[in-house]
Structure 1
Amino acid sequence: MLPNKFFKWHNQILEENAVKLSNIQPKDTVLELGHGPGFGLQAAAQLLTAPEGKLLGVDYSQYMHEMASKRMKEQISRGKAVLYCSDLVAMPIEENTVDKVFHCNCYYFWPDLKAGARAIHRVMKPGGIMVTTLRLDSVIKAANMKVLTGHKWRPEVYMEALQSSGFTDVRMEKKREKLITFQAIFATAVK
């Protein structure tokens, strides 16, 4: 497998598992943060079968926003999906409107974890579920190579930011699929 295909496959598995672990229901409003090329958006859209079901996506990268917009153009044209090219903290999503939030491989790139966690909490309905997936072994390697600096890459630092922002039941679980071991962080929004 070529390196690009290898990384694409790994990320796609993480995104699809974040969707699966979010327990998306047909009528939910679902938000993917750092949606990248849109694999997670595609997987989530298939579960939002009720007319009320809505999909939102936020990515800071104009390039990724354009890639995902092309991949999701049918859902966007039907009003089923809305994608924003925006910073997480400035995302133009109303308070208390989102049932499920998922993201993969992105919290360690946020400038301020606590501001990011507060922004997620702001848009979520009480009782809403947030799930993030990551491969901790890969994250540790990136930190050792100085690709990720400081301490915000550490899951416990992100989990503390979630707790201090009003999330409860914040926990990390080890998961495995298709020969890949990964971690999933879960949190429940309370108001």
Structure 2
Amino acid sequence: MLADKVGKQLGRPTYSLTGWLVTKFLKWHNGILEQNAVKLSNIQPVDTVLELGHGPGLGLQAASKLLTGPKGKLLGVDYSVYMHQMASELMKEQIAKGRVILHCCDLAAMPIAENSVDKVFHCNCYYFWPDLNAGASAIHRVMKPGGIMVTTLNLDSVIKAASMKILSGENWRPEVYMEALQSSGFKDVQMKSKRDKFVTFQAIFATAVK
């Protein structure tokens, strides 16, 4: 019961004591993963960049600093109202300037034009999608041909969460996620181990092919 409750809050934090505690955990636990997802995306000043499951906004904040060109744009999607409002407050200046647009919605329903995004990144996110194939297809739809997506995770932590029943089913497995990406039209899907500040993590790369 407790594990299931924690898992639901990790996937979709709400205004609650558990949601508040989960948000504190996300800020601490996801910091290095967010920073490296941004770094590995090789963001250029004029790119249109999308973060999925942006949470409180750590990755958005890091990515926005790289989009210095006149046409650089940052998009974000999260289906937690709590996280959407928290990130909107953090990014309010960039939102007011029209350089950041955040959507509070399900991934499969994100109102983003086809073939419009250069880079996509997310961390500790895909295992909460109700349908990996639908999610992967939605991402592929919005990406430009040749666009790069980067996913970061700490596989040891994910395996532990699955063993504790915080993550249910099999969608947490990287190979299941990578198969969904390939089935949706992504190519060069591969996972690499990385290290930063004495922390080992995994990065999954995929290229959108149209």
Q: TM-score, normalised by structure 1?
A: 0.96
Mapped pair 1:111 → 2:144: no
Query: Residue 55 of structure 2: SS of its match in structure 1?
Result: coil
Over aligned residue pairs, what C-alpha RMSD do you find?
1.4
SS at match of 2:83: helix
Does 2:205 correspond to 1:178?
Answer: no
Picking from 110, 117, 138, the partner of 1:98 is 117
Give the structure with the higher percent helix. 2
1:60 equivalent to 2:79? Answer yes
Q: Which residue of 2 aligns with 1:148?
A: 167
Amino acid at match of 1:96: N
- Provide the secondary structure at the position in 1 that maps to 2:190: strand
> Taking every aligned residue pair, what percent have the same amino acid on both sides?
79
- Shift of the alpha carbon at 1:10? 2.6
- What is the rounded CA distance, in whole Å, between the counterparts of 1:110 and 1:104 in structure 2? 13
Query: Judging changes above 3 Å, is the alpha-carbon distance between structure 1 residues 120 and 43 closer, same or farther for their aligned structure 2 residues?
Result: same
Q: Is the 8 A contact 2:27 2:58 kept in 1?
A: no
Q: Structure 1 residue 25 and structure 2 residue 47: aligned? A: no
TM-aligned CA deviation for residue 178 of structure 1: 1.2
Partner of 1:81: 100
Distance between the aligned counterparts of 1:5 and 1:110, measured in 2? Answer: 22
SS of the counterpart of 1:128? strand
CA distance, structure 1, for counterparts of residue 26 and residue 128 of structure 2: 18
* Per-residue deviation, 1:9: 2.8
1:98 CA drift (Å): 0.1
Residues 45 and 72 in structure 2, CA contact (< 8 A), matched pair in contact too: yes
Matched AA of 1:89: A
Q: 2:147 aligns with which of 113, 128, 138?
A: 128
Change over 3 Å in CA distance of 1:180–1:5 after alignment to 2: farther
**Gapped runs of 5+ residues in structure 2?**
1-21
Shift of 1:12: 1.2
Structure 1 residue runs of 5 or longer lacking an equivalent are: none
Runs (4+) of structure 1 moved beyond 2 Å? Answer: 3-10
Q: Distance in 2 between matches of 1:23 and 1:172?
A: 17
Cα distance in 1, alignment partners of residues 41 and 186 from structure 2 = 15
1:187 paired to 2:206: yes
